[in-house]
Every structure is written in C-alpha cells, then in structure tokens.
Structure 1
Amino acid sequence: MVPEKLLEILKKDGVVAMATLGKDGPHMVNTWNSYIQISPEGRFLIPAGYMHKTEENIRHNPEVLITLGSSKVEGLHGAGAGFLIKGKAAFVTSGPDYDVMKKRFSWLRATLSVTIDSVTQTW
C-alpha cells in the first residue's frame, strides 16, 4: 500500500506535518521524514517525545492527516514530490511497535502508530 515514491521520500531530508482534530479544533505537529518507519503490516510508526496535544486529540478522534515531501525526489511535474496520507492513529507505549522505535529513539515516550486508509501523491 505504500508507494515506492513515498518510500524514496522517507529516505530524504524533509519535514512531516501531522494534523489532528480535537475538542478545541485542529492541531498540527511536525517530525522528520527519516523518523518514520514502516511496520511489516504497513503502518507508519512515528516516535513521540512530546505530542501531548496530538495524543489528547487522537483519544477524541483517531483520524489523522499527514503530509510529507522532498525536493530531492522527482515528482509529478519535475523536481519535488509530496504525499497526503489519511489514516487512523493510536499512541502505543508497549508491544512490538513501541519496542522497535524505542531501540532507534531512546528519548521517545510513545510510538504514534498510523494505520493508513489512503495515500495520494499531491505533487
């Protein structure tokens, strides 16, 4: 389900924006492309050091929008490629998704696990 072009972007420098919707409205948080790992089942695994507001919103509404891209990857119309990912998220603090990320990021308090519903190349 994860396109090769998206996997290529995850290997490049770039910022990731994640949007959630809580009782107080929308909230955005960022991370780095290279921090995202894909689980064997195809979930995005993202280390969470803080992200307390994101976690609160996901308890209220698990839907998340993620955008990411890189100017270093050929896109639809030349240099630069980006994607919009829609999915359902959960914060996990134990188990395989947590353990694999804790090995990479000793500072994390939880793993944000995103089950992907759709992936759209936007540019």
Structure 2
Amino acid sequence: MNEKIENILNHEGVFSVVAKGEDFPHIVNTWNSFVIFKDNNLFIPVGGMEIMEEILENENRVIVVIGTRELEGLHGMGIGVKIIGKAEIFQDIEEYEVMKNKFEWARAVMKIEILEAYQTT
C-alpha cells in the first residue's frame, strides 16, 4: 500500500484528517502536495488546527482520506485510500524545519503514524 500512497501524494488532491471530536467528528484538510511520506509516517504542515491539536491531546487516533482523479483506481480513473493512524503535532522534529522552510505559515507539523491502509476506490 505504501507505493499507492506515494503515487497518490505525487498527484494533487484533497488530503483530509478526521479525529473524534467531543460531540461530532472534526476534520481538517490540506493538499496532497503539502504532505511528506517517510518511514510509514505522513507529515503535514500545521497553520491553524487549534481544535484538532486539542482533540489529539486526548485521543490521537485519526482517519485520513486521500485520493486523486489522475490515477487508475478499482473501477476506472480515480483512486482513494483510507488510512487509520495515530497523530501528534510537533514543533521540535526535523520535519518541522523542512515544512517551515517550504511553508512560512507553518507553526508546527502533524506526524501521522500509519497503522492500517485500505484502497477504497
């Protein structure tokens, strides 16, 4: 599945992270091109995401949904993958410096450890 994830991230599409909010799921979005995939982890620049950060302090399980129309999927053009992972937000890891150099607005980086991944489309 790692190769499919890498291929999707090399094409533009929406990258969505869903966490368990107190009363309702909470979601944040970014673009595939903003994400770094390294050592079975996803790294996302964090600009705002204050509510997401609060949620992750109590419950760090997340669902990530990625996709692109540019690649062949299960039933024609368009591929999607659902990822189950554990997320944390950092300011003191190497990947934060990479993100800060690329996106001056980044105040931190979200690291998502991939636990499971499934192709959905």
Fold shared, TM-score > 0.5 on shorter chain: yes
Q: Are 1:9 and 2:8 matched, yes or no? A: yes
Mapping for residues 1-123 of structure 1, pairs under 5 Å = 2-39=1-38, 41-123=39-121
Q: TM-score, normalised by structure 1?
A: 0.92
RMSD of aligned residue pairs (Cα, Å): 1.2
Mapped contact 1:18–1:65 kept (Cα < 8 A):
yes
- The percentage of counterpart residues that share the same residue type is 38
Within 1, Cα distance between the matches of 2:5 and 2:64? 12
**C-alpha distance in 1, partners of 2:74/2:23?**
36
Shift of 1:25: 3.0
Taking structure 2 as the reference length, the TM-score comes to 0.94
CA distance in 1, matches of 2:85, 2:2: 15
State the aligned residue count. Answer: 121
Q: Which moved more, 1:4-13 or 1:62-71?
A: 4-13
Runs of at least 5 residues in structure 2 that lack an aligned partner in the other structure:
none
Following TM superposition, by how much is the alpha carbon of 1:114 offset from its aligned partner in structure 2, in angstroms? Answer: 0.4
Checking the alignment, whether the CA contact within 8 Å between 2:20 and 2:55 is kept in structure 1 is yes
The list of structure 1 runs, each at least 4 consecutive aligned residues, that deviate by more than 3 angstroms after superposition, is none
Displacement of 1:108 in angstroms is 0.2
C-alpha distance in 1 between matches for 2:90 and 2:100: 11
